[in-house]
Structure 1
Amino acid sequence: MRRIDLGFLILATATLLVGVGMGVWMGLTHNFHFAPVHAHLNLLGWTSLAIFGLCYRAYPALAGSRLALPHFALAAGGAILFPAGIALSISDITMEVAKLGALLWALAVLLFLVALVRLVLAGRAKADAGTARALAA
């Protein structure tokens, strides 16, 4: 069984470290120009990725889904590119990286929703089959 949960948690902790480092730097320098980058690193990177990892840990069938790895790839790309793109946008370099990161993130969230709905429907189908067997007995 692949440990997608640990992949999410390791990446979440790495983004937390970068976000905390940015927060410390902003506090020490009193330069809060990149506060949106800090916020997105903590929200997408730490919070959302950690919640995804904990969900995969809590529901092993979800981790075994063929959607788990594409979800991780999209979420990882989005969680890294979106804050980086915001920094590039704030610096008046380009907005394209932020757009790509936002798109990857949105696709990751949509894929996670699809995986959750499939998990619920599969569980409901198993429960219905078990009820039908019990009634037939």
Structure 2
Amino acid sequence: MPRIDITFILLSVLCLTTGLVLGMNMGAAHDFQLAPVHAHLNLLGWTSLALFGLIYRSYPALQASWLAKAHLVLSGVSAFGFPAGIYLSIVHERPGLAVGMAFVALAGVLTFFANLVRVFFFSAQSAPSTAGTPA
């Protein structure tokens, strides 16, 4: 499996691409019923996952725990599952997946928070990476 930071960034670009294509289709059809799906793909997917990836890149010690892998799974699944649930809620009036994925997204954020606390308060490796910066 690739590094956590790179995986988060790759998933974020996949969300951005999906959200962009959805937005283009909505614009071409002049039907914006699925705008919340588009918005959540871009915000929960592109923005959040990219920020997570950049933070993991800046603080490599965060990647050294099972919490990072759990965070990746929870946030990666919810970044796609939550917008899919919103789609089902809007089009088919079945909100169950959206509700469930909201809790998965929350679990991902809480896992990330626990990992941050672990590294920043209970680890000697809390300094940001200086890789790639001139001496």
Normalising by the residue count of structure 1, what TM-score does the alignment of the two structures yield? Answer: 0.87
Moved more, 1-10 or 12-21: 1-10
Deviates more, 1:114-123 or 1:29-38: 114-123
Aligned to 1:85: 85
| Aligned match of 2:58 | 58
Cα RMSD, aligned residues only: 1.5
1:27 is matched with which residue?
27
Matched residue, 1:16 = 16
- Give the structure 2 partner of residue 37 of structure 1: 37
Alpha-carbon separation, structure 1, partners of 2:92 and 2:24? 24
The SS at the match of 2:32 is coil
Structure 2: segments with no counterpart, 5+ residues: 126-135
Cα deviations by residue, 1:60-105 (Å, 9 ceiling, x for unpaired): 0001122000100000111111000000000124111101111100
Residue ranges of structure 1 left out of the alignment (5+ in a row):
128-137
Runs of 4+ in structure 1 over 3 Å off: none
Identity score, percent = 48
- Given the alignment of the two structures, is residue 111 of structure 1 paired with residue 111 of structure 2, yes or no? yes
**Aligned residue in 1 for 2:101:** 101
Q: 1:78 & 1:2 partners in 2: Cα distance?
A: 20
Q: Determine which structure has more spread, i.e. the larger CA radius of gyration.
A: 1
